[in-house]
């Protein structure tokens, strides 16, 4: 060893202790120290009398905390059963196997899931040790504590109870907190969980997190030290490592979105370059469509998080163009399940493409939908859906839409194909039929002319299409079906000019102008 090290420069190192944990001391995980049941052994070596009774009481308390029935009578039965099993097996006192079998019978009612909970908490245990404060800390741990203070999250870090933290990304401290939490999530240190829908419901400048620091997260931090000495360095290296295993556009874009939220600017150019190469090699239209919504989110976060998003915008335009070119072919000659998946992807892309800054991309997209609506061999679900999207965008007038609807429901189509066309067309608001008698009449005549057997066959599909409408929309349709358009109450729901005049002065004050 000395010969090998001779002549090499000395390198300064820092050493620290790793907290122990019962999970890692146990035989089946961690560094496999060989301790079969740390939590049980702790109770066993405490020297207290009635060890079996005490353990069964812990089982009862645990199950009660999880909303399971665990009465005192079951404790007595479990203790008696464990002691009986030990006697039958020639043991002086019950062991782990006897305790588990007794708990399974008396408490868990034969449920292996409940027994697994008992085993994890009361046989292996979830206790975590703590390194004394005077000992050196790992560089990543020191940097994390510094970042927590800068982000003003010290109170949440010290809290043992879950804390809901709302962040306004326009505030510097909150932006730092959001960046830190996203970086920790990337390092698999789940201190905070971003509440689903929080950004969408409150705007792109707001996030809502549920924070809870658990003792075992300190071990996660030490494990993450292999990726770097600071939180930023470790998160950057971890992001690059995960990007190497991303083999499709949606997975790689999801990583870029995470990197953008975590503000890992040094890694983003490499990921964007990899994304462009992967996009050039990809021919699946479904991947292009699936990638567009997260790309638009990236553009939104590029503004909120003060990150340049010009390369993302350019890539989004390329994906739109390639999707427009390949969409008609991808929609032709496919079965029902792939068509349903593709239709959902088309709808999602249709919602986000108008948010892109280049208007020519939207024009190209609408032209692709026009091709879908009239091209033969395109799946009827996509034909009807494209027709509806074009009508909603006022790309098709009422007469053209009525003609396409009549053709989609014509005798040249099978009833099954016709109802699929109708399902795609009716995706969205049901007011389309309520306020356009011509469209309602075409559907009404088609249903009336169907033979009874055919009608019964397609009735479940028809019900599925109309079930998406709101209760109010279905009520109006029922009135039209019974009384017709003249006898329904639609006219009563039209805007009242006299009531509109009353709010106009206030509205003019708010928006200005004459």
Percent of the chain with pLDDT over 90: 26
Distance separating alpha carbons of residues 500 and 505, to the nearest angstrom: 10
| Cα Dmax for the chain | 102
Percent of the chain with pLDDT over 70: 91
The rounded mean pLDDT for the chain is 84
Distance separating alpha carbons of residues 231 and 240, to the nearest angstrom: 14
Distance separating alpha carbons of residues 122 and 54, to the nearest angstrom: 11
Distance separating alpha carbons of residues 458 and 452, to the nearest angstrom: 10
Which DSSP category does 225 fall into? G
Distance separating alpha carbons of residues 257 and 238, to the nearest angstrom: 14
Q: Are 426 and 446 in contact (CB under 8 A)?
A: no
Q: Are 160 and 189 in contact (CB under 8 A)?
A: no
| β strands within 79-140, DSSP E | none
- Better pLDDT: 74 or 130: 74
Which pLDDT belongs to residue 200? 44
- pLDDT score of 75 more than 90: yes
- pLDDT score of 45 more than 50: yes
Distance separating alpha carbons of residues 232 and 147, to the nearest angstrom: 10
pLDDT (mean) for 288-303: 78
* CB-neighbour burial class of residue 92 (10 A; exposed 0-12, middle 13-18, buried 19+): exposed
Distance separating alpha carbons of residues 424 and 405, to the nearest angstrom: 11
Distance separating alpha carbons of residues 382 and 132, to the nearest angstrom: 64
Distance separating alpha carbons of residues 355 and 309, to the nearest angstrom: 14
Distance separating alpha carbons of residues 98 and 28, to the nearest angstrom: 20
Enumerate the domain spans of the chain.
Answer: 22-124, 139-230, 397-514
- Better pLDDT: 179 or 302: 179
Residue in this structure with the two tokens 């006022």, named with its chain if needed: 394
Token pair in block for residue 256: 């870029």
| Confidence tier at 513 by pLDDT (50, 70, 90) | low
Q: Give the tens place of pLDDT for each residue, 120-159.
A: 889 888 788 877 878 888 889 889 999 999 999 988 887 8
Return the CA Rg of the chain. 32
Element (H, E) at 241: helix 231-244
DSSP 3-state assignment of 342? helix
Distance separating alpha carbons of residues 454 and 100, to the nearest angstrom: 60
Distance separating alpha carbons of residues 410 and 120, to the nearest angstrom: 64
Dihedral sign, Cα of residue 495, residue 496, residue 497, residue 501? negative
Q: Give the tens place of pLDDT for each residue, 170-182.
A: 888 999 999 999 9
Give Cα 436 distance to the centre of its chain: 38
- pLDDT score of 260 more than 80: yes
- pLDDT score of 31 more than 60: no
Taking 3-state DSSP, the helix, strand and coil percentages for the chain, each rounded to the nearest 5, stand at 65, 5, 30
C-beta neighbour count of 375 within 10 angstroms: 15
Q: Give the tens place of pLDDT for each residue, 209-242.
A: 999 888 788 888 988 999 999 999 999 999 999 9
Dihedral sign, Cα of residue 377, residue 381, residue 382, residue 387? positive
Number of H helices, E strands in the chain: 27, 3
């Amino acid at each position: 060893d000395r010969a090998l090290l001779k002549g090499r420069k000395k390198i300064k190192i820092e050493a620290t202790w790793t907290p122990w944990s019962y999970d890692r001391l146990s035989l089946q995980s961690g560094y496999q120290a060989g301790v079969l049941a740390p939590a049980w052994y702790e109770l066993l070596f405490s020297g207290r009398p009635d060890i079996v009774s005490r353990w069964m009481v812990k089982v009862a308390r645990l199950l009660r905390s999880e909303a399971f029935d665990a009465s005192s009578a079951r404790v007595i039965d479990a203790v008696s059963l464990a002691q009986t099993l030990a006697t039958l097996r020639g043991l002086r006192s019950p062991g782990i196997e006897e305790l588990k079998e007794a708990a399974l019978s008396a408490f868990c009612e034969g449920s292996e899931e409940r027994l697994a909970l008992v085993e994890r908490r009361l046989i292996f245990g979830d206790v975590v040790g703590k390194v004394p404060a005077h000992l050196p800390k790992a560089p990543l741990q020191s940097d994390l504590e510094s970042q927590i203070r800068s982000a003003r999250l010290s109170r949440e870090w010290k809290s043992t109870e879950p804390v809901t933290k709302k962040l306004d990304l326009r505030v510097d401290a909150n932006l730092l907190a959001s960046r830190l939490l996203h970086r920790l999530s990337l390092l698999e240190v789940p201190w905070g969980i971003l509440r689903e829908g929080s950004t969408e419901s409150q705007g792109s400048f707001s996030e809502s997190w549920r924070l809870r620091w658990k003792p075992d997260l300190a071990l996660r931090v030490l494990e993450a030290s292999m990726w770097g000495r600071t939180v930023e360095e470790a998160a950057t290296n971890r992001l690059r490592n995960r990007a190497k295993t991303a083999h499709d556009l949606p997975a790689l874009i999801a990583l870029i979105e995470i990197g953008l939220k975590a503000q890992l600017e040094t890694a983003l150019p490499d990921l964007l370059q990899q994304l462009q190469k992967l996009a050039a090699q990809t021919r699946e239209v479904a991947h292009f469509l699936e990638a567009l919504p997260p790309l638009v989110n990236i553009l939104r976060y590029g503004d909120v998080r003060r990150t340049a998003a010009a390369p993302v915008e350019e890539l989004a335009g390329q994906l739109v163009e390639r999707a427009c070119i390949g969409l008609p072919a991808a929609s032709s000659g496919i079965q029902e399940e792939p068509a349903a998946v593709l239709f959902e992807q088309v709808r999602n892309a249709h919602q986000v493409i108008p948010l892109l800054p280049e208007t020519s991309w939207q024009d190209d997209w609408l032209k692709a939908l026009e091709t879908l609506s009239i091209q033969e061999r395109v799946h009827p679900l996509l034909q009807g859906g494209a027709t509806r999207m074009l009508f909603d965008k006022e790309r098709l007038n009422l007469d053209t839409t009525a003609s396409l609807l009549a053709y989609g429901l014509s005798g040249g189509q099978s009833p099954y194909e016709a109802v699929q066309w109708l399902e795609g067309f009716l995706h969205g608001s049901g007011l389309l039929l309520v306020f356009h008698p011509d469209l309602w009449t075409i559907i009404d005549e088609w249903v009336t002319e169907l033979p009874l057997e055919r009608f019964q066959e397609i009735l479940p599909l028809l019900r599925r299409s109309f079930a998406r409408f709101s209760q109010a929309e279905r009520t109006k349709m029922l009135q039209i079906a019974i009384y017709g358009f003249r006898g329904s109450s639609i006219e009563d729901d039209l805007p009242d000019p006299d009531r509109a005049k009353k709010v106009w002065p206030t509205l003019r004050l708010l928006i200005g102008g004459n």
